[in-house]
A = this chain, B = another copy of it.
Amino acid sequence: MKDIKDFLRSNSLRPTKQRVLIAEYLFDGENKHVTAEKLSNELNRRRTGISLATVYNTLHDFYERGLLKKLSLGLDRVYFDTNTDHHHHFYSDKEQLLIDINNKLKVSGLPKLPKNKKTNKIEVIVHLDN
């Protein structure tokens, strides 16, 4: 798609066929939470022949351009989030469940910050069971 190539170029990324295929999947309109492994599986399902190294490189490139958010919620497995607005999550480690909370959550009652520190962002994770 011409659109996706321009999208990549406008983010200082050469529109290689690998990046085009990955971007087409990730930015198809619906928000996604993917791990490198899950994305790689999906790309294999599509017979793209894209290597796992390229999946990692591309996710990292997109992240550095601000096209993805990076989530480190549980142990050892990084999620990349196509929803780059500030938002929160329902999360279940056991069920590999990750759902956006786009509502305006409000967190009140915070104590004063440590000296010489400023808040970067407030992250709310609603851990689910059952």
Contact = CB atoms under 8 A, between A and B. Distances in A.
A96 interface: no
A120 B110 contact: no
B125 A123 contact: yes
B128 A120 contact: yes
Interface in A105-130: 105-111, 113-114, 116-130
A90 B116 CA distance: 13
Number of copies: 2
Interface of A: 72-76, 78, 90, 92, 97, 99, 101, 103-111, 113-114, 116-130
A113 B78 CA distance: 24
A56 to B, nearest CB: 14
Contact of A118 (B72, B122, B129): B129
B117 A129 contact: yes
